[in-house]
A and B are shown apart, each in its own frame.
Chain A
Amino acid sequence: MDNQKSPVPLYAAVFGGLALLTGVTVLLSYLHLSHRVAIPLAALIALTKCTLIASVFMHLKWEGKAIRALLFTGLFLVAVLVLAVLPDIGVARP
């Protein structure tokens, strides 16, 4: 990203997308959908927003493999934290 000019129109589009998705997720929460629908929907919107921020605002879109590898190491380890205990949730649930 060092020698590139920052794409301001793209930044503006991402900001618009983030604002829109925030509005959508808040509106959806007022519909009081069942948790089976509401949780995956909210998670999907949050992940989309995170991807937009990371890829454009944090320039991940233009970065090489080394930085992506660093990021995915952290994400993988967090995924292990959740996945390793998921079987226990099934047991504890009444």
Chain B
Amino acid sequence: MGEKLMSESAAPSFPPSTPIPSGKLGMWVFLSSEIMLFGAFISAFIVLRMGSPNFGVPSEEIMGRPLATVNTFLLILSSFTMVLALAAIQRDDRRSFARNMIATMGLGILFLIVKMFEYHHKISEGLTISSGLFGSFYFTLTGLHALHIIGGLVFNGYVLRNGLRGRYSARHHERVEYAGLYWHFVDLVWVILFPMFYLV
């Protein structure tokens, strides 16, 4: 209760000039720049794949479609647990919030572990970042995506820690929402990368 009063007195008593909280606006500006970052790589992939006669695509055995499908499910499920965590804190259910945040992070870590096995398999089969156009794109894009997962784990860990210390409530949980926005974006990028590299 005390912290609620404190954060309320710290907030301006007049309505801000924009109805969007600046944290949310900032997160969306950041995500918009992230769209450009991934978009640049993805558009280069589309153009080269369609235009280059030397674009060799590795066999299904090297790509390992079943494992990548498992990873896709893991990320989709983690997005779901993330919104459940937000819904939980919105109704002041801190227990369910913590449980869902831990599940989200656990699924993210599992994704990275599967990815590690995948990388090991591909490199031992001769598909490396310098083995050709496909390998370069595959390792650059999935590597960049994996770095984003690690970033998301740090952000989620911070939000979980704050939540466990009782800093969020039904009234104040903005950062849970922002962490969610970022995590869903990382999931969304994977939804695009998955068919690009594994399915066609």
Contacts and interface: CB of A to CB of B under 8 A. Distances in A.
A1 B50 CA distance: 41
Interface in B142-176: none
B37 to A, nearest CB: 10
Contact of A78 (B25, B36, B73, B195): B36
A6 B86 contact: yes
A74 B40 contact: no
B181 A58 contact: yes
Interface residues of B, number: 54
Interface stretch (B6-14, B75-83, B113-121, B133-141): B75-83
Contact of A6 (B69, B79, B83, B188): B83
B39 interface: yes
Nearest to B79: A57
Nearest to B183: A57
Given A22-B69, A42-B199, A15 B80 contact: yes
B20 A64 contact: yes
A70 B29 contact: yes
Nearest to A75: B35
The 9 closest A-B pairs by CB, nearest first: A78-B39, A6-B87, A74-B35, A74-B32, A89-B51, A29-B199, A15-B80, A42-B195, A81-B43
